[in-house]
């Protein structure tokens, strides 16, 4: 069993896809030609990385295009254990909307192992983790080395060595980050931060 982190999958979000976005400024768009190629890459890259018995922490903004998109996303993900922090676009999940699925009617929250606004947990025996959709300046046990993982910004903000953006497009391979990758980033940034200060 391995542990992974991801945020802002934005499954089925047309405007985030460069080839079909209606946004005037497309600098924040993902470089896909069609919504289908984007959606396929999201699913394929998660499943290629995160296996059925692994654990995936998702920091929000799961899917767009109506409540059915949540099930369409979830039914394709092979990982059985997904802990979700609610993002600003996860309205149907927050309301626990009833969704028609291939398994019958299902509450949106039941598609995930847990659904919370913030997750504070010892995920690694040495580090406490604070997961939130939003980047926060101060978090529980920050001064004791706790790691804060966030989404929402779709880019790394580099404001603290222990604060890391896990949005899909931040990973060079457009996929979830492993626990080992997060710990490696923390170590590298701790050295850079010492050098700067």
- pLDDT, tens digit (0-9, with 9 covering 90-100), for 59-111: 999 999 999 999 999 999 999 999 999 999 999 999 999 999 998 999 999 99
Q: What is the DSSP letter of 99?
A: E
Question: Would you kindly state where each structural domain of the chain is located, as residue ranges?
Answer: 3-196
Q: pTM of the prediction? A: 0.95
Q: What is the CATH number of domain 3-196?
A: 3.60.21.10
Tell me how far apart the 2 most distant CA atoms of the chain are, in Å.
57
Give CA–CA dist 187/155, Å, rounded.
20
Give CA–CA dist 56/123, Å, rounded.
12
Contacts of 65 (CB under 8 A, 6+ apart): 12, 13, 14
Contacts of 40 (CB under 8 A, 6+ apart): none
Q: Which residues of the chain register pLDDT less than 70? A: 194-197
């Amino acid at each position: 069993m391995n542990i992974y982190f991801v945020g802002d999958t934005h499954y089925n979000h047309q405007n985030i896809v460069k080839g079909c976005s209606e946004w005037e400024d497309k600098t924040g768009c993902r470089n896909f030609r069609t919504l289908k190629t984007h959606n396929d890459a999201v699913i394929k890259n998660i499943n290629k990385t995160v296996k059925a018995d692994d654990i995936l922490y998702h920091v929000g903004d799961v899917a767009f295009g109506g409540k059915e998109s949540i099930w369409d996303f979830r039914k394709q993900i092979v990982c059985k254990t997904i802990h979700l922090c609610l993002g600003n676009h996860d309205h149907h999940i927050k309301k626990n909307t009833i969704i028609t699925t291939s398994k019958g009617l299902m509450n949106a929250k039941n598609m995930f192992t847990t659904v919370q606004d913030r997750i504070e947990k010892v995920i690694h025996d040495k580090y406490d983790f604070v997961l939130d959709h939003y980047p926060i300046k101060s978090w529980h046990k920050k001064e004791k080395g706790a790691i804060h993982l966030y989404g929402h910004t779709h880019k790394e903000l580099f404001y603290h060595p222990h604060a890391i953006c896990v949005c899909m497009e931040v990973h060079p391979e457009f996929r979830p980050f492993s626990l080992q990758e997060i710990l490696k980033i923390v170590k590298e940034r701790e050295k850079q931060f010492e050098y700067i200060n």
